[in-house]
Chain A
């Protein structure tokens, strides 16, 4: 079955960077986009961007451009999200999700378990 397993909890100081991984299995990694979504405490879902597993092309939400970088490693079917210059309002749970259908991101399923990132001095 399709599975997405994310890296563990991160605690960072303001101004630092964080890199979250999302290891996938059970499907053809290069046939789908992989999207990243975050959720601040008590808030809704916020789309951050997606990356093509086929050629690494990316699209980012405008508010994150310049601070977020999505990358991937096809040899391990793993995607990465790096967020730089962290602020306290970046404290959130960060999710990865497969974006389907193949080669054409629309819906998101399944999702990883989420990674808690806390930014605090």
Chain B
């Protein structure tokens, strides 16, 4: 089955930039979507189709893709951005989630 690999954790100081990667074989041929999940809450879509932002998501959140890696970038990180982040693709008739990255704001 398709595997999406993310770093387990990323630490960032407030005001700096957090970069979260999502690697998968031939990910370039799939659209990548990103979710933010805060403790005790349901996930929230923050980026879809690699780089589009749903309404209400700050433009500090951006997505990109190059080769076999998709990237979620959070600029001017705030304490409220501390959460788990998951990438996701559609692989044929299945959905696949990445392994998840815990972002800690120092």
In the complex, the chain A residue whose C-beta lies closest to that of B47 is: A107
Contacts from A to B (Cβ < 8 Å): 35, 37, 44-47, 50, 59, 61-62, 95, 97, 99, 105-114
Interface residues of B in 72-106 (CB under 8 A from A): 84, 86, 88, 90, 93-100
- In contact, B95 and A95 (Cβ under 8 angstroms): no
- In contact, B42 and A105 (Cβ under 8 angstroms): no
- For B98, the chain A residues whose CB sits under 8 A away are 44
In terms of DSSP, what is the predominant structure of the interface of chain B?
Answer: strand
- Residue from the list B33, B37, B84, B99 in contact with A107, Cβ < 8 A: B33
Q: How far is the CA of A111 from the CA of B98 in the complex (A)?
A: 18
Using a Cβ–Cβ cut-off of 8 Å, how many residues does chain B contribute to the interface with A? 24
Contacts from B to A (Cβ < 8 Å): 1, 31, 33, 35, 37, 42-45, 48-49, 54, 84, 86, 88, 90, 93-100
- In contact, B33 and A61 (Cβ under 8 angstroms): no
Given contacts A45-B43, A62-B1, contact A107 B48 (CB under 8 A): yes
- In contact, B43 and A111 (Cβ under 8 angstroms): yes
Given contacts A105-B90, A106-B90, A107-B88, contact A95 B96 (CB under 8 A): no
